Amino acid sequence: MKPDTEPKSVQKILDIGGSHNPKLDATHLLDIDRDIRSNKQYEFIYWDLNKLPLPFKDNTFDKIYCDNVIEHLQVSPEILFAEIYRILNHKSNFIFACPNTIFYYNRLVYLFGLIPQDYHKEHIKHYSHDYIYRCFLNAGFKVKIINNLWHLLPIIKNFQGNIRFIVRKA
């Protein structure tokens, strides 16, 4: 075959925990919600993320999403990120988000003995930007994008309600 006529390989994209609002480009959905079923868009894999290793071979996925999931888990982010690193292809992205516990609004609300409006009882762990950042580095990731511009002015990270990263497997 000529190089310009070779079929392109289909990307494998994993959405971790996105059962109620899966990413549009996801080809695989990993979740603990048994009510989800595979469909034309994605293959559904039932899995408890507190149980590692994940049920995939090394270097399986071209992109992985994990959006507001880790705060519901017992497993440490560093251990989960190392496992995600294992199943992610080289030079591929992991797109991550979770609530920011040290968001200034939350600090003010706690100061007055109240609970923030967006607090969920299902959130069993709470994280800061700096902790998540260190977990990514310890797992081997190269950090590409960190929640807009907070790396230029570190105080900004505490004004944002969510922690967002795009990291890359080297």
- CATH code at 11-169: 3.40.50.150
Least confident of 32-36, 86-90, 107-111: 107-111
Report pLDDT for 36.
Answer: 81
Under the banding of pLDDT at 50, 70 and 90, the label for residue 150 is very low
CB-based contact 73:125 (threshold 8 Å):
yes
Does the pLDDT at position 8 exceed 60?
no
Under the banding of pLDDT at 50, 70 and 90, the label for residue 3 is low
What distance lies between CA 146 and its chain's CA centroid? 13
**Bridging pattern class, strands 43-46 and 28-31:** parallel
Cross-strand bridge partners of residue 94: 64, 167
Q: Which has more pLDDT, 115 or 27?
A: 27
Global confidence as pTM: 0.82
Q: Where are the domains of the chain?
A: 11-169
154 Ramachandran zone, left/alpha/beta (phi>0; psi -120 to 50): alpha
Beta strands (DSSP E) in the chain are 13-16, 28-31, 43-46, 61-67, 88-99, 141-146, 162-169
Q: Which has more pLDDT, 148 or 58?
A: 58
Q: Which has more pLDDT, 135 or 2?
A: 135
